[in-house]
Structure 1
Amino acid sequence: MKTKIFLGALLLAVLLWNTALGQTKTGDEIIGTWAMENGESKIRLYKQHGEFFGKMIWSKDMYEADGKTSKKDVNNTNVNLRERFLKDLTILEHFRFDKDEWSDGKIYDIKSGKTYSCTIKLKNQDVMLVRGYIGISLLGKTVSFNRVK
């Protein structure tokens, strides 16, 4: 009888623990500043109206020769957007968190001026994997970012 009560209590504790863990995952783990693995750029991820976005906060090619003036988005395929400054340009847009992945978002590549479908996953709390692709995820490229502390 004691064994049945113990097992029942243990099962209830496990169910409550799993429920509590599931409720605490909001996707906010990616919020913060991240540096591209090759050191070319830094982005800041934030949450707005339940979706996740990322702004370019630094890039080795972001400034004009004076080191202060932000370059413009001259490579954009949309001529009307070429006057935007690269500094603080939103390059990750409209990601939704589900389980362990941020999906349904878009990534803008400042070098090519093109926008791609994108997913984000955390390898661990300090390494983020960003995958841009056309059509299906198999046809894409993954770039690693490290959390800036």
Structure 2
Amino acid sequence: MVRKPAGLAAMIATAGFLWSILPADAGGVPTGTWRMANGKVTVRISNCGGRLCGTIVGLKKPLDKKGRPKRDKDNPNPALRSRPVIGITILNGLKPDGDDEWAGAIYNPDDGNTYKSIVRVVSPTRLKVKGCVAFVCKSTDFHKMN
């Protein structure tokens, strides 16, 4: 499957990168609840079996044009297309990858693709989440909620 950089941009914008979940503490561990800088997505980052994962816990616009909860309609697995976006784990398998950095994967409900991801703890209240396809990367900031 070929992943297009345009899809990556949409992933970052819509998924908001789910980094409303990573509350950074001493030592650069991004656990907690984080909101994307544009306010579109809130993510909770927590320990999932020895690695970190991030789950969408809020959306600025949680309903579609028909007033129903937004669904994972572009998921490559037809059985998952009816699941609500709120509650989807979008960050998976994050493990330490240098000082204040965590590497893993990020799922973008906007295009149904999964990308390589780096989460960098910039400060105790700010994360930079990067998603990459080959050598093309896009990033966005998240701000700690709790």
User: Do the two structures share a fold, i.e. TM-score over 0.5?
Assistant: yes
Unaligned ranges ≥5, structure 2: 1-25
- Write the mapping of 1:93-112 to structure 2, written as runs, cut at 5 A: 93-98=92-97, 99-103=99-103, 105-112=104-111
The superposition leaves residues 96-145 of structure 1 with CA deviations (integer Å, 9 ceiling, x where unpaired) of 01332101x11111212211110100111111000000124xx1100100
Q: Over aligned residues, Cα RMSD in angstroms?
A: 2.0
Paired position in structure 2 for 1:123: 122
The residue identity in structure 2 corresponding to 1:59 is L
Paired position in structure 2 for 1:81: 80
Which 4+ residue blocks in structure 1 deviate beyond 6 angstroms? Answer: none
Unaligned ranges ≥5, structure 1: 1-23
Asked which structure has the greater RCO (Cα within 8 Å, sep 6+), the reply is 2
Paired position in structure 2 for 1:14: none
Paired position in structure 1 for 2:58: 58
The Cα shift of 1:83 comes to 2.1
Paired position in structure 2 for 1:48: 48
The residue identity in structure 2 corresponding to 1:145 is F
TM-score if structure 1 supplies the norm length? 0.72
**Percent identical across equivalent pairs?**
30
| More helix per residue | 1
TM-score if structure 2 supplies the norm length? 0.73
Count of paired positions: 120
